[in-house]
Amino acid sequence: MLNDPNTPLVNRATQGVYPPASTVKPYVAVSALSAGVITRNTTLFDPGWWQLPGSEKRYRDWKKWGHGRLNVTRSLEESADTFFYQVAYDMGIDRLSEWMGKFGYGHYTGIDLAEERSGNMPTREWKQKRFKKPWYQGDTIPVGIGQGYWTATPIQMSKALMILINDGIVKVPHLLMSTAEDGKQVPWVQPHEPPVGDIHSGYWELAKDGMYGVANRPNGTAHKYFASAPYKIAAEIWYSSGLRSESERNL
C-alpha cells in the first residue's frame, strides 16, 4: 500500500490539494461586492472569452459561444468564467488573496486531525519566493475562477461553504465530541474565530440566490440533474482542468 500510486493511505479530505475551481465563485462575488469592485447591478457582455487589457491574450469561457449579457446572479447560475475574470482583474491579487484568506483559503482549517495541509492561496510574495519571478496581471485572471496557482483541500472548500451558508460566521470543523477527565465527560468547545468582515446581509443572499439558480433555474449549470429533486438544493459546479490523473476525476 505504501507503494501504491493511488496513495490509498492519504486522507484526501485533509491532505489532497486541488484547484478549488468554480466552487469559489460565490465567495469571489461576495468579496467583490463588499470591496466595492462591483455592485448588484454590474453587467458584462460575454462573447465566450475575456481579453487582458493591453494584451492579445484571451482567456476562454467554458461555454465557447458565450453567455451573452451577464450580471452577478446569472454569472453564478451559469458559472460564467468571463465575469469572474473581469472581477479578478479589477480586484487584483492583493485584495483577492486577502479576501479569500478570510474564507479560510491558504490556512489550516483547525480540524482536530494531525494530517492536514493548508493548500495555497497565491500572493506576490509566494510567487517571488517559489519561482523567483514577479507577479503578473495575467497570473491573477485564472485565480478568479479558482485555478492558476490556487490549491485547496476538500475540507477547506467545505469550511468556506459553511461560512457562506452562515452569513460569515466561522465554524471550525471537528470530529471530537468530548474527552474524559477524572471520569467525567468534557464536551468539545467550538473555538472562537472572528466572522468574515462586515458584509451586507444582501450580498450573502445574492450569492445564495445564484447558487439556488444553479440547480433550480432552467439556465443553471446543474438544473438538469436536480430539476425533479424532491428537496430544496443550492449548488455550484466543480470542474478543473488541473487534475493530474483520471483517477482524481472521481473525487
Q: What is the pLDDT of residues 151-174, one digit of tens each?
A: 999 999 999 999 999 999 999 999
Tell which CATH classification among 3.40.50.720, 1.10.10.10, 3.40.50.2300, 3.40.710.10 matches the domain 12-241: 3.40.710.10
> Domain map of the chain by residue range?
12-241
Enter the pTM of the model: 0.91
Do the Cβ atoms of 46 and 80 come closer than 8 Å? yes
Q: Is residue 22 annotated as part of the catalytic site, yes or no? A: yes
**Residue 241's pLDDT band (boundaries 50, 70, 90)?**
low
Contacts with 38 (C-beta within 8 Å, 6 or more apart), sequence order: 29, 32, 72, 87, 90
27-83 pLDDT, tens digit per residue, is: 999 999 999 999 999 999 999 999 999 999 999 999 999 999 999 999 999 999 999
